Amino acid sequence: MASDEEKTEEPTAKKKKESVEKGQVAKSQDVNSALILLSGVLLMLFLGGSMLIQMKDTMGMICKNLFYKDFDADTFVGLLMDISFKNLKGVLPIMGGFMIVGAIASYSQVGIVFSRKALIPDFKKINPLTGAKNLISKKSLVKTAMALVKLSIMSGIAYISIRKDLEPLMELVSMNTEAVFTSASGLIFGITLKIAIILLILALLDFVYQRWQHSKDLMMTKNEVKQESKQTDGDPLVKSRIRAVQREMSRKRMMQAIPEADVIVTNPTHYAIALKYDAATMDAPKVIGKGVDLIALKIREVATKHDIPIVEDRILARVLYSTVDIDSDVPPKLYQAVAKVLSYVYQLRNIVANR
């Protein structure tokens, strides 16, 4: 049997919310890195040509302006602006693509999360003792293992790709500069694309692991669940005492209203229901008090003290007690039965008044 100190309980909604507020969410940085690398390869593949053209135009502009006769400050500023504009025109689409991919990767993992607590410096993280413990922790070992696996895969892919294209690479010596650049670029793109795809697969596996580890870290002990329940709902003993006080106050208010009743319907001893009806102000008779056993006895005592008629009707008393709340109107289905009781009470009043 698990002890109270073992984390055997699922995290509560409050614990999950606090985790998000602290910025502690299941997220893999490898997913961002792999997607950015993969998108970078694809962007360079489709937009690299236009960027090279921009770079070529920039170099031509620089070389052309080296032969200006009058190269003053205004000319330099204008040349610098032109070069900057051309460079930005070539680089911005790629940089913008990186930003969009990074934002999508983060959003797909955790959604929109803003945590002020995560921005507050945590000096425990720079504690040498804490750092030493983290170096030999399970998480650190897993990260180290993942890093070694990635390094091995990247090295293997690079080795296999270069060995496969070793003969074409040897021919680069006899090629012109443009051919060398084209062949080398193709080789680099091929290797990088393979590495990016493999890293993305590993990143997705790491994301699954991070979610599992995060869920495990959020697990709670039975004692933590109890303490949180007390903080959220209050101590059960205190709540019980409050409910008892509330019941007592409600009972006192009810007993204070009994003298205003027109009749008390009884069982005759177990149930007592106080009814009141004023045709001028009420649409239907109302139950202003009810009780069983000891409360029923007190209701009858107050009724006797204030000369309120007590009528025995076993079935009506039980039905009124179980179906009608205090300060609620009698339902239409009981109108006839209650009317008989009130009619009897009114007849008694008339007899007493005519004596």
As given in the structure block, the two tokens for residue 161 are 């790709």
pLDDT score of 133: 58
Burial class of residue 12, CB neighbours in 10 A (0-12, 13-18, 19+) = middle
pLDDT score of 135: 58
| 142 contacts 209 by C-beta, under 8 angstroms | yes
Architecture of domain 257-349: 3-Layer(aba) Sandwich (3.40)
Give 50-102 as a DSSP string.
HHHHHHHHHHHHHHHGGG-SS--HHHHHHHHHHHHHHHHHHHHHHHHHHHHHH
Residues 6+ apart with CB under 8 A from 320: 265, 273, 275, 287, 290, 330, 334
pLDDT above 50 (res 1): no
pLDDT band at 103 (very low <50, low <70, confident <90, very high): confident
As given in the structure block, the two tokens for residue 110 are 């955790």
For residues 57-61, average pLDDT? 65
pLDDT score of 40: 78
Tokens 């004596």 correspond to 355
What DSSP state is assigned to residue 159? H
Instruction: Tell which wins on pLDDT, 263 or 22.
Output: 263
- Residue 338 gets the label, from left (phi > 0), alpha (psi -120 to 50) or beta, of alpha
Instruction: Choose the weakest-confidence range: 174-183, 237-246, 252-261.
Output: 174-183
Alpha-carbon gap, residue 328 to 279, rounded angstroms = 16
Q: How far is CA 43 from CA 38, 47, 92, 191, 193, in A?
A: 9, 6, 11, 15, 11
Burial call 287-310: b when 16+ CB within 10 Å, e when fewer:
bbbbbbeebbebbbebbeeeebbe
Alpha-carbon gap, residue 89 to 54, rounded angstroms = 8
pLDDT score of 236: 66
Task: Find the distance separating the first CA and the last CA of the chain, reported in whole Å.
Answer: 80
Whole-structure pTM value: 0.44
Alpha-carbon gap, residue 333 to 343, rounded angstroms = 17
For residues 229-233, average pLDDT? 65
Q: Where are the domains of the chain?
A: 22-222, 257-349
pLDDT band at 241 (very low <50, low <70, confident <90, very high): confident
